[in-house]
Amino acid sequence: MSRVAIIDIGIGNIGSLANIIRKIGHEPFLIQIADDLEMYDRIILPGVGKFDAGMEILEAKKFDIMLKKLAKENRLIMGICLGMQLLFDCSEEGEKKGLGLISGNVKKFKFNDNTKVPHMGWNTITIEKKSLLTDSFVNNENRFYFVHSYHCCPKKEENILLSTFYGEKFVSAVHDNNILGVQFHPEKSHKFGMELLKNFMEKICYKPE
Amino acid sequence: MLQTRVIPTLLLKNRGLYKGEEFKKHRYIGDPINTIKIFNDKEVDEIIVLDIGSDLRPDFDYLQTITKEAFMPMCYGGGIQTLSDAQKLFYIGFEKISVNTLFFKNRIVVKEIIDTFGSQSVVLSIDVKKNIFGKYQVYSNCGKKKQKESLEKILEEAKEIGVGEILLTSIGHEGKMKGFALDLVQKVQNSINVPFIIHGGAASMNDLKEARAIGADALACGSMFVFQGIHRAVLITYHSFYQKDSNE
């Protein structure tokens, strides 16, 4: 059983995330004070809502400084949905600077046809780069639940793990060394989400410098 | 590609599961927690839980027990009155809330919830019924209160405040199991720029396909997944949009 810190500052579906972590046999800890994060090698930053609102809470509670520090120490940090977007430099959704842990920005879906925004529902993924997060996926049948209007655009192609098609091809998972992000909600994606989270908890290891 | 969602809708009352017809004649069908567990095992696309029990606040303690074993997208509606109600619901594991009466009573709160948690987290549930002239009229308070505003006007305002999704229920079709209100789907699909769920009347895979073909983005079903046969025996089933229908 491994431990994982879930950042609990009122910007995410903490309940379902904690439940699914327990379901796959690991131990979630809900963290409300930035200093407490230091005790964990594995951290999840969940998030729903607006980019600026998310950054404001992170800053107000000094989680931004702590996350940047722990990122440098090679701790594993995974952002989910808005949590993924907050890892980037900036977003079209807001004025504030993001955490800047992965270089690139976040753009709004813009379609000329009648493709609707938000992108909401179950969609498939294409593996762009092999990683321990998705190594166990077979037959390409994995699908995930998405709800978002903005999508991440990493500067470096090597950061792209998964892509998904909605009106256009967009990036649905990223990594940069110890930093990971998924646009979909693994905690809401049945066995597919459990498999991905299990991989995050069991296969990806913290390597202190 | 994005898959078409098929969404069981469950009506909650006093911690029991009910199903009726035309928003009336509610009949007890079972234990909600058990039913949701079965739907979870069947890997349904999403679930909508609507508490029709009262105009009281959401039963947070009970709802928490519902979400504990549900690893799928879940939407809750019923008795939401404040931003903090919404916040609590997101915290215990629903990622969407559905508002109906609140939208008519206090649009500022709806806007506040959208501004705080984003458009994608708020579903506007609109209940409509045809009047004697064949025009769809909008109702709130579980179909009890007629609203003056027209359906077109309400859809316009929903767009304006940034609602992320529309759940449109035809009261006259609900529970009848005679197919969706296709004329309604046709009428509104061009004026909705967010995902649009049609609800009320589905009985077969064919009904779902028809509504999808003319513009509904997602399909919500109550009776179809809880009743079986002409005598409506309670049996929990599920069909994804892509699965072959065993009854056909």
* pLDDT tens across the length of chain B (248 residues): 899 999 999 999 999 999 999 999 999 999 999 999 999 999 999 999 999 986 678 999 999 999 988 999 999 999 999 999 999 998 888 989 999 999 999 999 999 999 888 888 999 999 999 999 999 999 999 999 999 999 999 999 999 999 999 999 999 999 999 999 999 999 999 999 999 999 999 999 999 999 999 999 999 999 999 999 888 999 999 989 987 655 44
Distance CA B25, CA A41 (A): 55
Distance CA A32, CA A9 (A): 6
- Residue B137 and residue B151 in contact, taking contact as beta carbons nearer than 8 Å: yes
**Chain A residues close to B68, C-beta within 8 Å:** 19
**Chain A residues close to B4, C-beta within 8 Å:** 121
| Partners of A145 in beta bridges | A122
In order, the DSSP letters of B147-177 are EEEEHHHHHHHHHHHT-SEEEEEETTTTTT-
A185 assigned to active site = yes
Interface touch B45/A118, C-beta < 8 Å: no
By three-state DSSP, how is residue B48 classified?
strand
From B115, B121, B218, residue closest to A48, measured CB to CB: B121
- The B residues from 198 to 217 touching A (CB cutoff 8 Å) are 217
By three-state DSSP, how is residue B247 classified?
coil
The ipTM estimated for the assembled molecules is 0.90
**CA angle centred on A169, ends B190 and B158, rounded to 5°:** 30
* Catalytic member of A81, A119, A175, A195: A81
Rounded to the nearest 5°, which phi and psi values hold at A187? -70, -10
